[in-house]
Structure 1
Amino acid sequence: MVDVRAVWLTEFGDPGVLRLGDAPDPVPGPGEVLVAVAFANTTFVETQLRAGGTVPYRLQPPVIPGNGVGGVVLAAGPGVDGDLVGRRVVTATGGSGAYAERVVVPADVPFVVPEGLGLDDAVALLADGRTAKALVRTAEVGPGDRVLVEAAAGGVGSLLVQLASQAGATVVAAAGGPRKVAVAQDLGADRAVDYSAPDWADEVGEVDVVFDGVGGDLGATAFSLLRRGGRFVAYGLASGSWAPVPEARGISVHRGL
């Protein structure tokens, strides 16, 4: 069997711990398909994992990291309809294994990429897109809500701004620095504030929903802006820790990706 090239995480640290090496050429089993990888997605959480920081899940080196790829289906395993063979798809790999030339995944996992959409763009939307959609559903965002989106110029945050706006909410976008604030404003936020300014919370005012992708003290400050009956949805910890929010009567708190 011929090996394929892959990128291995050999230990936790800076990007230099990622090493090019070989891995067994995967073969699709029953209910699986084989994908030739053209693009592998790298999320912010994966860079935290590589560095050995605080992340919602952990892999133990040596391991092939990565959880999202885009490519072409090369073969289908026993019992799988061959319609996917030759199609361009994006797919998750189950938490690891994406940094490789070929991957095997369950046949019901890939999304077919429509014509006119680049594989690189589709892969970029894979993780952040499904996260953003799930967050908006969890928070039950709708007309009349005033929504605060932190890290509003980031991958998930930029999508949350647009989805919440489409749902009929008034969106306040918070980002760090004038350039990112301008990006958030261009995405359709009703108001955009710079959370590196000391009075940013006063500019935001009371809100019904907080999407917290930062955590730490900034997330805790955002929590304090919630009205009674508000929803606090924490999906990331760019600061390195979850927001230390108290148990509050009448406020719903959700954590997770």
Structure 2
Amino acid sequence: MHAIRLHAFGPPENLTYEQTEDPTPGPGQVRIAVKASGVHLLDTALRQGMQGPFPAPTELPAIPGREVAGIVESLGEGTDPSWLGKRVVAHLGLPAPSLGGYAELAVTDAAKLHPLPDTLDEAAAVAMIGTGRTTLGILGFTHVTPDTVALIPAAAGGIGTLLVQYVKNAGGTAIGLAGGPAKTALVEANGADLAVDYTRPDWPDAVSGFLAARDLPGATVVFDSVSGATGRAAVDLLAPGGEHIVFGWSDKGPHDGEALTFTDAELADRGITSQQVLGPPMFAKVGGDNPLRTLETRSLALATSGELRPAVQRYPLADAAKAHHDLESRGTVGKVVLIP
């Protein structure tokens, strides 16, 4: 098979497209003929050998990637034969962290599979198995209603796109921030009530004017994945009693490198609650024996029904290095997906 392999930690160019041995499914496993592989910002950190919520590969060369969709074409010993030939999607990363998604073939436990309906294509399914489940997990920390006024930085990204749709589906007001006119236009086309270019220094004034015109004291919730000066300015636009929901594995803002921190006194003075929601807090909020699978199932159901429509940017598998470069330089929109 062809795959992307990482031989040494470092820049995107260290990802090489090459031929390697086909993986063999073990007991209780399947081998998937991959039609779409997900690329995550975390993948770019693991490529550099950085530690995040997932550990970097301990042995190189390694095949990155934790999200795949395709057709089950081979079974390991003892695997339910009904999976053979089925279209499926799976997140390879948990409960046991593993990689192998950037390839024409990938192996995973049958227990991680979700069957795909004919109406959901593989690229959208890959977006929802990771980005979609995270979005729903984030939304579990607030109650979105018609009175919600949500300020969404990175609104042209994979999670931001879905947050805008969810807020609008609930009858709320969605204010989306994005970098540059092209991304801002996409946020507006996605249904946001206001789309603002955060690269303009006067962007907070545009949001303030929008709120004032509607006699709103401020946003009720900020979904913050960007941190830094942009994140702080977004929090400054919260109304008293607002919610600051923080997600992302890094506490550094990608735009200016500044950490976003607030003292308890700053937040208390305005009655603002701030929550870091990824990881254990999210698992506890969802509850049950397998909270991640619960979120995956909900996410795929919402995509199948058309209530959530992930934005996808496709790259050929051989161009994984370019996909990483573009993702790190904020040159992508929606979920980045590799197509073998």
Q: In 2, Cα distance between the equivalents of 1:24 and 1:182?
A: 43
* Structure 2 letter corresponding to 1:222: A
* 1:151-186 alpha-carbon deviations (Å, 9 max, x no partner): 111111111111111122211111111221111111
| 1:142 equivalent in structure 2 | 145
| AA matched with 1:221 | A
CA shift at 1:97, angstroms?
1.8
Q: If the length of structure 1 is used for normalisation, what is the TM-score? A: 0.86
Task: Judge conservation of contact 1:93–1:103 (CA < 8 Å) in 2.
Answer: no
What amino acid maps onto 1:8 in structure 2? Answer: R
Distance in 2 (alpha carbons) for counterparts of 1:215 and 1:53: 19
The answer to whether the aligner puts 1:113 opposite 2:111 as a matched pair is no
The alignment's TM-score, normalised by the length of structure 2, stands at 0.67
Q: How does 1:1-257 map to 2 (within 5 A)?
A: 4-19=1-16, 20=18, 22-23=20-21, 25-30=23-28, 32-51=29-48, 55-60=52-57, 62=60, 63-94=62-93, 95-205=98-208, 206-236=218-248, 239=254, 243-247=260-264, 248-249=267-268, 250=271, 251-256=273-278
- Indicate if the aligned counterparts of 1:54 and 1:241 stay in contact, CA closer than 8 A: no
Q: Contact conserved, 1:73 with 1:87, CA < 8 A, in 2?
A: yes
> Which amino acid in the other structure matches residue 243 of structure 2?
R
Shift of 1:23: 4.8
The one-letter amino acid paired with 1:73 is V
The residue type equivalent to 1:87 in the other structure is K
Shift of 1:242: 5.4
Q: 1:14 to 1:172 in 2, by over 3 A?
A: same
> Could you tell me which amino acid in structure 2 is paired with residue 66 of structure 1?
G
Deviations 1:118-164 (A, max 9, x none): 22332233322222222222222222111011111111111111111
CA 1:144–1:154 in structure 2 vs 1: closer, same or farther (change >3 Å)?
Answer: same
**Structure 2: gaps of 5 or more residues:** 209-217, 280-340
Residue 72 of structure 1 and its aligned partner are, at CA, apart by 0.8
Task: Give the conservation status (yes or no) of the 8 Å contact 1:157–1:213.
Answer: no
Q: Is the 2:50–2:56 Cα contact (8 Å) retained in structure 1?
A: no
Q: Which structure's residues are more often strand, by fraction?
A: 1
Q: Residues of 2 paired with 1:104 and 1:148: CA distance?
A: 40
For structure 1, the residue ranges without an aligned partner over 5 or more in a row are none
What corresponds to 2:282 in structure 1?
A: none
- Superposed displacement of residue 109, structure 1: 1.8
